[in-house]
């Protein structure tokens, strides 16, 4: 649930906003005026309801309700209706595709062992790996095939039970049964959520190994609505399932983007021989240590495989890269409905991006991916994380970028992404990143400012105005008010030894554990008898770990109880996950936990409060735990999904769980559902008047609310100064120098 930021995102944003200021992009991509993209779409569907779209495309990886009865003349549930307007099935008619059509009989003689000793490195150590065979199949040049049992055994650490009979593999784990049928080329999962976890409820956000100070509630029962089984039609993705040696052979990403995608474990990149954890590399690729990581043995192993000597791929491999991307996003992207996407093959075709994504030039494919994750998805959860490939390094060709840009711009939907007039020419320096090069080219063609731009500007504003040496978290006092400030939701339960029940929370624990920080804060607050109000300041918090969120909510609760609710977009199930947080560390989950009722709680937000920073005020407000002050939070209703393509590029995207509540008439996402109890920023120009980092000013706002006020009032003189300061700050953010006095 973390807001993932690109190292180069600041430059990208500057280029976008500069173009808008120079008469280029002037409007939102999908809506006019002040209406946001989220407000422009219809309300969320009721939890568990089936989509009733008569034009549903035949390509989708759809939940199929085995118990549903289809009306006469209609297709059974889980099968697409025959639609004269349907997009041709993925894998059908690419004239230049070299691969054999999936579903056709593949002779055993067409299968051979490519590598006897491929290694799967689950972590970031080159000394810890599993050895498997990688197979090659005629007609699928360079595409790695793997035995399904090898992948599942690695994924589930041997906890699954596998049987294979007559070309049908069945795997049972966590009480869920998966069937891979080689004759039908299908994967069917009866309970996809249970693959992730089988504890409080199936697919719970807190895994069994993460229970420590958080435990399942015994006071309030967790619940979930009915789940639909999932059927993936591999033919739609040009991926065969081949009966072979009492097992099933499948393309590696066919396995990873199904089972790994559903279990948040799709982290591996294939380098031509071995499978390495690219996510472990990129999670450490910060601006400060990027050079050290790139010089590391693990990075060199990832990028030093047989593919590293190639400058381009086979067409079969390029098609594999494309369809595996479609498979993952069809199955797990959380905002398909809002984006009017039935299947991604249809979507990529509609915006004229399919050609570039199927290109044998990895540099061409990245252009469409940058546009997809950094612009079209348009969320703080969606962005390219890395641009390095397992193929030979190749600079992005500006002519290729321009050509793809024109293709997209000429598509019917693509016209909505661009202003009618082209933007100002962008000057690109030598050190400009790939994202900036591509977005710069798009801006030159008139790319509109994305809906996510305000979130980025908010984040830049909050960061640039944070007082020097303020720190990532702190506790301040002002009279009867304590202010707890922190910038990230974090939890280190799975790596911390020993537990807090052996050695209590220390100062050193606080940076990695919200529980430790809040525990120590309240130990201090209890020593201040004058404190009546506690403000949780998340105005500069972009999100993080769900466990951290649950811990914080436990301290606000009157009895340590927390209700975390979400919708699974894969199974259609709505869940209420009930937890207890042992805030006093006495080992007993009772009403002595939590501080609700002992203090008046407030949560202070800004437009930079994202993901968990948006969920905290949402859940606290819904459950009556706190009042919300500041300005409206930035949104972010999906957990973060992980994306790794066939080239080893990594991205984040809005994943398969949406946070929100069942309103009684349907599921309502938490995206824009927080209501301010006290508005500290009536106008955007008041942004510099809000005491974001000032405990005294925050305490004054609380006192104004206690007097019955609902909105801050600033003097005319202060607002005049604020307007000048706001404009100067905005110009500074986008790199425009202030006028000389």
Q: What are phi and psi of 436, to 5 degrees?
A: -70, -35
Q: Between these two residues, 289 and 233, which has the higher pLDDT value?
A: 233
pLDDT at 31 over 70: no
How confident is the model over 726-734, as a mean pLDDT? 59
Query: Rounded to an integer, what distance in angstroms lies between the CA atom of residue 485 and that of residue 474?
Result: 5
Residue 67 lies in a domain: no
pLDDT at 224 over 60: yes
User: Do 473 and 418 fall into the same domain?
Assistant: no
Residue 377 lies in a domain: yes
Other CB atoms within 10 A of residue 59 CB: 27
Query: Rounded to an integer, what distance in angstroms lies between the CA atom of residue 727 and that of residue 722?
Result: 8
User: Do 509 and 623 fall into the same domain?
Assistant: yes
Least confident piece of the model among 24-28, 210-214, 342-346, 379-383: 24-28
Query: Rounded to an integer, what distance in angstroms lies between the CA atom of residue 41 and that of residue 669?
Result: 12
User: Do 386 and 534 fall into the same domain?
Assistant: no
Least confident piece of the model among 310-314, 548-552, 676-680: 310-314
Read off the tokens for 343: 């299947």
We report the CATH number of the domain holding residue 570 as 3.90.226.10
At residue 436, the pLDDT reads 67
Question: Which are the contacts of 239, defined by CB distance < 8 A and separation ≥ 6?
Answer: 91, 102, 185, 250, 251, 254, 320, 323, 324, 327
Query: Rounded to an integer, what distance in angstroms lies between the CA atom of residue 475 and that of residue 483?
Result: 6
How confident is the model over 345-374, as a mean pLDDT? 89
**CA 233 vs CA 79, 137, 150, 228, 237: distances in Å:** 10, 20, 21, 16, 7
Other CB atoms within 10 A of residue 218 CB: 10
Residue 92 lies in a domain: no
Question: Residue 93 — pLDDT band, cuts 50, 70, 90?
Answer: very low
At residue 217, the pLDDT reads 97
User: Do 555 and 666 fall into the same domain?
Assistant: yes
Alpha helices, DSSP H, located in 267-361: 278-282, 290-294, 297-302, 315-332, 344-350, 354-357
Give me the sign of the Cα torsion angle 414, 416, 417, 419.
positive
At residue 615, the pLDDT reads 98
CB 496 within 8 A of CB 542: no
Q: What are phi and psi of 366, to 5 degrees?
A: -65, -30
What is the largest distance, in Å, between two alpha-carbon atoms of the chain? Answer: 84
Q: What angle do CA 331, 74, 71 make, to 5 degrees?
A: 110
Q: Mind listing the pLDDT tens digit for each residue in 239-282? A: 999 999 999 999 999 999 999 999 999 999 999 999 999 999 98
Q: Where among 416, 449, 482 does a domain terminate?
A: 449
Question: Residue 14 — pLDDT band, cuts 50, 70, 90?
Answer: very low
Read off the tokens for 660: 């929100």
Query: Rounded to an integer, what distance in angstroms lies between the CA atom of residue 553 and that of residue 562?
Result: 6
At residue 730, the pLDDT reads 58
**CA 669 vs CA 104, 458, 733: distances in Å:** 43, 22, 31
How many residues belong to the chain? 741
pLDDT at 5 over 60: no
Q: What is the helix (H) or strand (E) element at residue 602, kind and residue range?
A: strand 600-605
Residue 2 lies in a domain: yes
Sequential DSSP letters for 189-251: ES-HHHHH-BSSSBT-SS-GGG-SSEEE-SSS--EE-----EEEEGGGGT---EEETTEEEEE
Residue 534 lies in a domain: yes
Q: Mind listing the pLDDT tens digit for each residue in 524-547? A: 999 999 999 999 999 999 999 999
Q: Between these two residues, 103 and 717, which has the higher pLDDT value?
A: 717
Query: Rounded to an integer, what distance in angstroms lies between the CA atom of residue 477 and that of residue 531?
Result: 8
How confident is the model over 14-30, as a mean pLDDT? 29
CB 560 within 8 A of CB 594: yes
User: Do 552 and 600 fall into the same domain?
Assistant: yes
User: Do 666 and 710 fall into the same domain?
Assistant: yes
Closest C-alpha among 96, 146, 339 to residue 260 = 146
pLDDT at 674 over 80: yes
At residue 723, the pLDDT reads 67
CB 376 within 8 A of CB 414: no
At residue 671, the pLDDT reads 95
At residue 441, the pLDDT reads 66
Q: Between these two residues, 252 and 727, which has the higher pLDDT value?
A: 252
CB 321 within 8 A of CB 366: no
At residue 21, the pLDDT reads 30
At residue 341, the pLDDT reads 95
User: Do 502 and 611 fall into the same domain?
Assistant: yes
Q: What angle do CA 684, 690, 696 make, to 5 degrees?
A: 175
> In b/e form, how buried is each residue of 417-428, taking b as 16+ CB within 10 angstroms?
bbbeebbbebee
At residue 197, the pLDDT reads 85
Least confident piece of the model among 21-30, 169-178, 316-325, 434-443: 21-30
How confident is the model over 63-84, as a mean pLDDT? 37
Question: Residue 619 — pLDDT band, cuts 50, 70, 90?
Answer: very high
User: Do 352 and 499 fall into the same domain?
Assistant: no
End-to-end CA distance of the chain: 45
Beta strands in 18-102 (DSSP E): 62-63
State which residues form the domain around 658. Answer: 467-733
Q: Mind listing the pLDDT tens digit for each residue in 131-180? A: 999 999 999 999 999 999 999 999 999 999 999 999 999 999 999 999 99
pLDDT at 672 over 60: yes
At residue 434, the pLDDT reads 65
Q: Where among 391, 416, 449 does a domain terminate?
A: 449
Q: Mind listing the pLDDT tens digit for each residue in 445-473? A: 666 777 788 898 899 999 999 999 999 99
At residue 726, the pLDDT reads 63
Q: Where among 414, 449, 484 does a domain terminate?
A: 449
Closest C-alpha among 317, 346, 326 to residue 234 = 326
User: Do 546 and 670 fall into the same domain?
Assistant: yes
> In b/e form, how buried is each residue of 105-119, taking b as 16+ CB within 10 angstroms?
ebeeeebeebbeebb
Q: Mind listing the pLDDT tens digit for each residue in 164-223? A: 999 999 999 999 999 999 999 999 999 999 999 888 889 999 988 899 999 999 999 999
User: Do 423 and 557 fall into the same domain?
Assistant: no
How confident is the model over 388-395, as a mean pLDDT? 80
Least confident piece of the model among 316-330, 429-443, 610-624, 690-704: 429-443
At residue 445, the pLDDT reads 62
How confident is the model over 309-322, as a mean pLDDT? 94
Residue 165 lies in a domain: no
At residue 290, the pLDDT reads 86
Averaged pLDDT score across all residues of the chain: 83
At residue 685, the pLDDT reads 82
Q: State the Rg of the chain over Cα.
A: 26
Above pLDDT 70, what percent of the chain?
A: 78
Residue 723 lies in a domain: yes
User: Do 439 and 490 fall into the same domain?
Assistant: no
User: Do 529 and 655 fall into the same domain?
Assistant: yes
At residue 231, the pLDDT reads 98
Closest C-alpha among 641, 99, 155 to residue 321 = 99
β-pairing, 275-277 vs 111-121, is: parallel
Read off the tokens for 329: 């996003």
At residue 189, the pLDDT reads 98
Query: Rounded to an integer, what distance in angstroms lies between the CA atom of residue 173 and that of residue 406?
Result: 48
Closest C-alpha among 676, 674, 686 to residue 709 = 676
Question: Residue 286 — pLDDT band, cuts 50, 70, 90?
Answer: confident
Q: Between these two residues, 286 and 737, which has the higher pLDDT value?
A: 286
Query: Rounded to an integer, what distance in angstroms lies between the CA atom of residue 658 and that of residue 224?
Result: 14
Residue 621 lies in a domain: yes
Q: How many domains does the chain have?
A: 2
């Amino acid at each position: 649930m973390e807001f993932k930021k690109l190292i180069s995102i600041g430059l990208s944003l500057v280029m976008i906003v500069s173009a808008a200021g120079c008469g280029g992009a002037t409007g939102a991509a999908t809506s006019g005026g002040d209406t946001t993209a989220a407000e422009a779409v219809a309300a969320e569907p009721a939890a568990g309801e089936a989509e009733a779209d008569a034009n549903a495309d035949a390509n989708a990886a759809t939940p199929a309700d085995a118990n549903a009865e289809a009306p006469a003349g209609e297709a059974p549930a889980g099968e697409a209706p025959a639609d004269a307007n349907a997009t041709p099935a993925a894998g059908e008619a690419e004239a230049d595709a070299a691969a054999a059509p999936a579903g056709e009989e593949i002779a055993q003689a067409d299968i051979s062992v490519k590598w006897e000793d491929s290694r799967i490195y689950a972590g970031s150590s080159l000394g810890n790996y599993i050895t498997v065979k990688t197979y090659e199949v005629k007609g699928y040049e360079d595409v790695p095939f793997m035995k399904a049992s090898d992948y599942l055994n690695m994924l589930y650490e041997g906890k699954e039970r596998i049987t294979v009979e007559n070309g049908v593999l069945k795997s049972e784990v966590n009480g869920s049964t998966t069937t891979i049928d080689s004759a039908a080329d299908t994967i069917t999962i009866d309970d996809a959520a249970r693959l992730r976890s089988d504890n409080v409820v199936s697919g719970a956000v807190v895994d069994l190994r993460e229970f420590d100070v958080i435990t399942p509630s015994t006071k309030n029962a967790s619940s979930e609505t009915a789940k639909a089984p999932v059927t993936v039609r591999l033919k739609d993705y040009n991926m065969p399932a081949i009966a072979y040696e009492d097992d099933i052979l499948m393309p590696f990403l066919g396995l990873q983007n199904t089972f790994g995608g559903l279990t948040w474990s799709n982290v591996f990149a294939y380098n031509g021989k071995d499978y390495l954890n690219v996510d472990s590399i990129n999670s450490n690729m910060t601006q400060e240590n990027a050079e050290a990581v790139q010089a590391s043995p693990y990075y060199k192993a990832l990028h030093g495989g047989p593919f590293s000597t190639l400058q381009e791929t086979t067409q079969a491999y390029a098609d594999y890269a494309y369809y595996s991307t479609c498979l993952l996003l069809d199955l797990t992207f959380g905002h398909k409905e809002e984006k009017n996407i039935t299947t991604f093959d249809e979507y990529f075709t509609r915006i004229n991006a399919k050609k570039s994504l199927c290109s044998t030039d990895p540099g061409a494919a990245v252009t469409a991916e940058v546009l997809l994750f950094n612009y079209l998805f348009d969320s703080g959860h969606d962005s390219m994380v890395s641009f390095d490939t397992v193929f030979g390094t190749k600079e992005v060709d500006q002519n290729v970028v321009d050509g793809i840009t024109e293709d997209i711009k000429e598509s019917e939907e693509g016209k909505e992404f661009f202003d009618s007039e082209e933007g100002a020419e962008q000057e690109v320096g030598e050190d400009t990143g790939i994202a900036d090069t591509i977005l710069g080219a798009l801006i030159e063609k008139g790319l509109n400012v994305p809906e996510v731009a305000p979130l980025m500007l908010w984040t830049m504003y909050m960061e640039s105005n944070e007082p020097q040496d303020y720190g990532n978290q702190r506790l301040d006092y002002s009279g009867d008010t304590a202010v707890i400030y922190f910038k990230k939701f974090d939890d280190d339960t799975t790596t911390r030894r020993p537990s807090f029940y052996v050695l209590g929370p220390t100062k050193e624990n606080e940076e990695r554990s919200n529980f430790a920080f809040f525990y120590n804060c309240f130990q201090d607050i209890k020593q201040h008898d004058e404190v009546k109000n506690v403000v949780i300041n998340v105005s500069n918090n972009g999100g993080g770990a769900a466990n951290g969120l649950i811990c914080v909510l436990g301290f606000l609760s009157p009895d340590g109880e927390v209700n975390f609710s979400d919708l699974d977009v894969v199974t259609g199930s709505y869940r209420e996950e009930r937890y207890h947080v042992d805030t006093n560390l006495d080992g007993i989950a009772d009403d002595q936990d939590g501080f609700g009722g002992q203090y008046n709680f407030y949560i202070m937000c800004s437009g930079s409060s994202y993901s968990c920073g948006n969920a905290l005020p949402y859940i606290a407000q819904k459950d009556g735990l706190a009042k919300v002050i500041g300005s409206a939070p930035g949104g972010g209703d999906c957990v973060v999904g992980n994306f790794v393509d066939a080239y080893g590029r990594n991205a984040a995207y809005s994943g398969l769980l949406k946070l929100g509540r069942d309103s009684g008439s349907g599921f309502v996402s938490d995206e824009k559902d927080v209501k301010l109890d006290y508005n500290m920023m009536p106008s955007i120009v008041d942004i510099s008047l809000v005491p974001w980092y000032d405990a005294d000013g925050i305490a004054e706002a609380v006192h104004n609310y206690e007097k019955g006020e609902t909105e801050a009032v600033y003097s005319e003189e202060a607002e005049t100064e604020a307007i000048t300061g706001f404009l100067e700050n905005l110009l500074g953010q986008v790199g425009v120098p202030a006028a000389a006095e």
